[in-house]
Amino acid sequence: MSLRRSIYKSPAQLRAMVEPGLITAAALDAVREMIAPGVTTGELDAAASALITARGAKSNFQMVRGYRHTICASVNEQVVHGIPGDRALEPGDILSIDAGAEYKGWNGDSAFTFVVPDPARPEVVAERQHLSDVTAGSLWAGIASLATAKHLGEIGAAIQEHIETHSPETGTYGILREYVGHGIGRKMHESPSVFNYRVSDPGPEVRPGLVLAIEPMVVIGDQATYVEDDGWTVSTIDGTAGSHWEHSVAVHDGGIWVLTAPDGGAAGLAPFGVTPQEIS
150-209 residues in contact with Mg ion (CB under 5 A) are none
- C-beta separation of 120 from 79 below 8 A: no
In the window 229-248, what residues touch Mg ion (CB under 5 A)?
A: 246
- Only one of the segments 14-22, 52-60, 91-99, 168-176 lies at the binding site for Mg ion (rule: CB under 5 A); that segment is 91-99
Comparing CB distances to Mg ion, the nearer of 125 and 143 is: 143
Q: Which is nearer to Mg ion, 125 or 213 (CB)?
A: 213
CB of 111 to Mg ion, least distance (A): 5
Write down the least CB distance from residue 109 to Mg ion, Å: 4
| Count of residues touching Mg ion (by CB under 5 A) | 5
Select from 39-47, 110-118, 197-205, 253-261 the region that touches Mg ion (CB under 5 A).
110-118
Please state, in angstroms and rounded to a whole number, the distance separating the CA atoms of residues 187 and 20: 12
Site for Mg ion in 31-90 (CB under 5 A): none
Closest CA to 155 of 163, 167, 168, 146: 146
Q: How far is the CB of 118 from Mg ion (least distance, A)?
A: 27
Cis amide linkage into residue 202, ω under 30° from 0: no
Binding region for Mg ion (CB under 5 A) out of 79-87, 140-148, 200-208, 211-219? 211-219
Q: How far is the CB of 163 from Mg ion (least distance, A)?
A: 18
Pick between residue 11 and residue 204 the one whose CB is nearest to Mg ion.
204
By beta-carbon proximity to Mg ion, the closer residue of 107 and 125 is 107
Could you tell me which of 240, 232, 215 has the C-alpha nearest to residue 83? Answer: 232
Contact 135, 94 (CB under 8 A): no
The residue range among 18-26, 153-161, 170-178, 212-220 that interacts with Mg ion, by the rule CB under 5 A, is 212-220
The least CB distance from residue 249 to Mg ion, in Å, is 12
Give the one residue of 19, 45, 98, 127 binding Mg ion; rule: CB under 5 A.
98
C-beta of 108 vs 276, nearer to Mg ion: 108
| Pick from 104, 109, 78, 68: nearest CA to 212 | 109
CB of 270 to Mg ion, least distance (A): 24
Nearer to Mg ion, 124 or 189 (CB): 189
Q: Does residue 109 bind Mg ion (CB under 5 A)?
A: yes
Give the residues lining the site for Mg ion (CB under 5 A): 98, 109, 111, 213, 246
